Amino acid sequence: MQPHQLSSGDVIADRRADYARMLEEGGEPGAAAELMEQALELAPAWAAGWYRLATYREKAGKAEAAIEAYRNTLALDPEDIFGSALKLALLGDIATPDRPPSRYVERLFDDYADRFETALVEKLDYSVPQKLAALVSATGRHYACAVDLGCGTGLLGPEIHGRVGRLEGFDLSQNMLAKAAEKAVYDHLAQADLSLASDLSGLFADRPRGRADLVTAADVLMYLGNLESVFAIIDDLAGAGADLAFSVEDAGEGETFHLAPSLRYAHSEAYVTMLLARHGFEILDIAKTVIRKDGGKPVAGILFLTRKPA
């Protein structure tokens, strides 16, 4: 988050906001909301302040008041770097978006990059890279070119590096890409927004379509919602006979996806298999497993290994 978002620009408003945060951390969200309201009287154009007020009101059980504050946040922040639209959808104020705001996801992971691996691997028991790599290894193939979509800090790269000739990684967050570069296993790293099919210069600039015989996406698709466009991108990347290995959060029964309280999307097995069939991918293996913890509770996921016909 940028400094101008952390500060209202008014010293007194900032001081009240700091006290409000302490009240919320002390288990008094209602009192925190009241003090935050006073801060916003002094700085009514502070988008980050409205977002904080919304979260305090939500924690205090004041849903309608929270909705009002999230709406104000969105009005002041049209790019929606805070993900207010996702919050409004969870509160039933608007329909669930097909995808999260790109700036929200980019800011989330830019802020998270330095502590990402410690938080995810050591504290949340994240295991998708190892489990996906095991599925890929079971094919016995050596791949000429692998494309790791949403590579993040590069946790999957070292797991599959020995099975590929050239390894490319793409991510929306520049800070995450910088961390991936430190691992020195990727031959090429570039920024790309998988949610915007119209802006894929990072994936295809000076590089042929159909170049990959392995495409991976570890814990990426839960930030995309509707997966139709990303499967079209994967279809363009994958050559004949290419393998595709990826994970989703498990939405359980049903034919579609939903937005979870974590602000991530969960997808049903039926929905994913429908899209795979539409794009001509043959399913080689499906594994249901715990992919990490969230709030101390296991998060159910589904791993897929599929192949494009030769």
**How confident is the model over 162-194, as pLDDT tens digits?**
999 999 999 989 999 999 999 999 999 999 888
Co-location of 159 and 81 in the same domain: no
Q: How many domains does the chain have?
A: 2
Q: What percent of the chain has pLDDT over 90?
A: 76
Q: Looking at the domain assignment, is residue 87 inside a domain?
A: yes
3-17, 132-146, 265-279, range with the lowest pLDDT: 3-17
In contact, 147 and 214? CB cutoff 8 Å: yes
- For residues 108-112, give the mean pLDDT: 84
Co-location of 73 and 129 in the same domain: no
- pTM of the predicted protein model: 0.88
Cα-trace Rg, the chain: 21
Task: Inform me whether the pLDDT recorded for 258 exceeds 60.
Answer: yes
Cα-based angle 249, 254, 257 (whole degrees, multiple of 5): 45
Q: What are phi and psi of 144, to 5 degrees?
A: -70, -40
Q: Looking at the domain assignment, is residue 55 inside a domain?
A: yes
**In the structure, what pLDDT confidence band is assigned to residue 267 with cuts at 50, 70 and 90?**
very high
Task: Inform me whether the pLDDT recorded for 2 exceeds 60.
Answer: no
Q: How far apart are CA 168 and CA 174, in angstroms?
A: 15
Strands 282-294 and 297-307: antiparallel
Which residue would you say has higher pLDDT here, 23 or 106? Answer: 23
Please provide the distance, in angstroms rounded to a whole number, between the alpha carbons at the two ends of the chain.
Answer: 46
Co-location of 218 and 264 in the same domain: yes
Q: How far apart are CA 68 and CA 35, in angstroms?
A: 17
Report DSSP state, residue 130. H
Q: Where are the alpha helices (DSSP H) in the chain?
A: 3-6, 11-25, 29-42, 47-59, 63-76, 84-90, 102-112, 116-117, 128-137, 157-160, 174-181, 201-204, 228-237, 269-278
Quick one: pLDDT at residue 209?
84
Co-location of 67 and 134 in the same domain: no
Which residue would you say has higher pLDDT here, 82 or 4? Answer: 82
Q: Looking at the domain assignment, is residue 255 inside a domain?
A: yes
Structure tokens given for 221: 């698709």
Strands 188-191 and 212-217: unpaired
Co-location of 84 and 179 in the same domain: no
Quick one: pLDDT at residue 119?
73
Domain hosting 58: range is 3-95
Q: How far apart are CA 98 and CA 81, in angstroms?
A: 16
Co-location of 74 and 211 in the same domain: no
Co-location of 38 and 174 in the same domain: no
Q: Which range, 64-78, 200-214, 217-231, has the best average confidence (pLDDT)?
A: 64-78
Co-location of 120 and 91 in the same domain: no
Last residue of a domain, one of 31, 66, 95: 95
Quick one: pLDDT at residue 7?
83
**In the structure, what pLDDT confidence band is assigned to residue 135 with cuts at 50, 70 and 90?**
very high
Co-location of 148 and 61 in the same domain: no
